[in-house]
């Protein structure tokens, strides 16, 4: 079953016929919220809001391990993650959609692996392609069939948050090759890979990254841009369910 991990702004579930909510306990603690089962595009899907439905959990405090474990517990066979991002590459403007194929991880201090030595198992997953090639292709096809532009083959930089970046930090990320920046892409993608669940991230550009737009970044601007962008992202996911 497809699971959707909702990010900032993805709280309007009117696109989903909600069937039930399950409170899941995991060996790693509680996930961000009960896991919702619902129907979207004629198919059954799972939904989990990464920050909690009332957006109370900041990026660095999300229990990513419990979230991914809970989705597996609920029979997730693939995951589409929604992520709000800032645009570093000037070819992107809010509220564009982006479908990264690579990631740069600048996060620290997060519980980032199921193989932390406590289970007695040492495992080194392959992460050459952090996102599922097949799932990305399906999302791209869905966007194309809806006539929506989706910026593909781009690099997502995962930063620690909860503050936004300085202009100099964005310059560094650009030198590193990053096109978009967000706070929640890692370790989520790696944890899904550790459990063998195909995973892709569909990003909504909420703002131009620090130093790339005019003036400072405001929360109002981010929230305003996310409204239309998330709506398009849900349409793409709904379509991808039928492909
Ligand atoms: N930086 C990091 N995370 C973000 C941004 C940003 O500019 N916009 C939305 N999430």
pLDDT score, position 98: 98
Q: How far is the CA of 40 from the centre of ligand 1 (A)?
A: 28
CA distance 156 to 104: 6
Q: How, if at all, do strands 17-22 and 35-40 pair?
A: antiparallel
pLDDT tens readout for residues 213-241: 999 999 999 999 999 899 999 999 999 99
pLDDT band at 49 (very low <50, low <70, confident <90, very high): very high
pLDDT score, position 5: 97
149: left (phi over 0), alpha (psi -120 to 50) or beta: beta
Q: How far is the CA of 182 from the centre of ligand 1 (A)?
A: 5
**Any idea what the CATH number is for the domain that residue 97 is in?**
3.40.50.1580
pLDDT tens readout for residues 139-178: 999 999 999 999 999 999 999 999 999 999 999 999 999 9
Residues contacting 202, CB < 8 A, separation 6+: 80, 81, 82, 83, 97, 98, 99, 139, 150, 233, 236, 237
pLDDT score, position 11: 77
CA distance 129 to 136: 11
Domain total in the chain = 1
Q: Return the number of other C-beta atoms located less than 10 Å from residue 30's C-beta.
A: 14
Q: How far is the CA of 88 from the centre of ligand 1 (A)?
A: 10
Residue 54 belongs to what domain range? 2-242
User: By C-alpha distance, which of 50, 16, 71 is closest to 192?
Assistant: 71
Ligand 1: lining residues by beta carbon, under 6 Å: 84-86, 159, 164-165, 181-183, 206-207, 209, 222
pLDDT tens readout for residues 192-201: 999 999 999 9
């Amino acid at each position: 079953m497809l699971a959707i991990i909702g990010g900032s702004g993805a709280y309007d579930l009117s696109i989903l016929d909600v069937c039930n909510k399950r409170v899941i306990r995991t060996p790693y603690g509680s996930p961000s919220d009960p896991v919702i089962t619902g129907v979207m595009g004629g198919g059954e899907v799972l939904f989990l809001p990464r920050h909690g439905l009332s957006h109370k959990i900041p990026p660095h405090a999300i229990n990513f391990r419990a979230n991914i474990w809970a989705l597996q517990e609920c029979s997730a066979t693939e995951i589409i993650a929604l992520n709000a991002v800032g645009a570093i590459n000037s070819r992107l403007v809010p509220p564009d959609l982006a479908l990264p194929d690579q990631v740069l991880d600048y996060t620290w201090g997060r519980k980032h692996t199921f193989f932390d030595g406590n289970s007695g198992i040492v495992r080194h997953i392959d992460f050459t392609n952090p996102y599922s090639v097949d799932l990305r292709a399906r999302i791209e096809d869905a966007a194309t069939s809806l006539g929506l532009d989706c910026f593909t083959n781009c690099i997502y930089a995962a930063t620690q948050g909860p503050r936004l970046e300085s202009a100099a930090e964005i310059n560094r990320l650009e030198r590193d090759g990053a096109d978009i920046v967000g706070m929640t892409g890692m370790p989520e993608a790696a944890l899904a890979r550790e459990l063998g669940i195909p995973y892709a991230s569909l990003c909504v550009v909420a703002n131009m990254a620090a130093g790339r737009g005019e003036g400072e970044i405001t929360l109002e601007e981010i929230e305003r841009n996310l409204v239309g962008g998330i709506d398009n992202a849900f349409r793409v996911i709904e379509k991808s369910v039928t492909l």
